[in-house]
Amino acid sequence: MAGQGPLQRLSAAIVWAEARVTGLMIFAVLALLLANVVSRAFGRPLIWTDELAVYLMVVGAFSGASLGIAKRHHLAVTLLADRLGPAARTNLLRVVDAVLLAILLVFGMTLWNWFDPPGVMAAENMSDYARESFNFLYQEPTTTLGIRKLWFWLIMPLFCVAGLIHVLARFGQPAPDPLR
């Protein structure tokens, strides 16, 4: 940790949490699917397990995607990078980070519009807000669980903020060789 700034330490702490959340989500999805298989074998299916497994898979996917951004384990086509020298590969990584930063900023603006915090704060109640804005994000329940989908969709702004932190933490740091 020596020589790391606060942003790099924050990114590392988020990575630690994301690794555990992602692992927990994978375990929970497998446990739910197994429970559903066993319950169906006994003729008493747990109909809510499939839906919960899907939502937990979404949470795990976004958490894992942010973890992949932090560790540079996201999918990449290295055809060009394989042909470049070390300095050019480093520059290419910087360009990739800049593009990723731009994508995350656009995603963040999209989420801001979708979640609409100013509109929600100004609303007297959520039913009127949904009716006037046609934004049912805060009202729509899951089919079998009966809880609001919002609780699962909150992973998206968390992913966006964590991804931004991971990418920003790399700026000012030496870029690793992408072929190692």
Q: What's the rounded Cα separation, in Å, for the pair 25 and 56? A: 6
Cβ neighbourhood burial of 72 (10 Å; 0-12, 13-18, 19+)? middle
Please, what sign has the CA dihedral across residues 69, 73, 76, 80? positive
What six digits make up the tokens of 50? 């499939």
Please, what sign has the CA dihedral across residues 15, 87, 171, 159? negative
8 Cβ contact list (under 8 Å, min separation 6): 169, 173
What six digits make up the tokens of 70? 């932090």
The domain limits of the chain are 6-170
Give the SS3 label for residue 44.
coil
pLDDT in tens, the chain (180 residues): 456 899 999 999 999 999 999 999 999 999 999 999 999 999 999 999 999 999 999 999 999 999 999 998 877 778 888 888 888 888 888 999 999 999 999 999 999 999 999 999 988 898 889 888 898 989 999 999 999 999 999 999 999 999 999 999 998 676 665 555
Q: What's the rounded Cα separation, in Å, for the pair 124 and 118? A: 12
* Cα angle 133, 102, 93; round to 5: 155
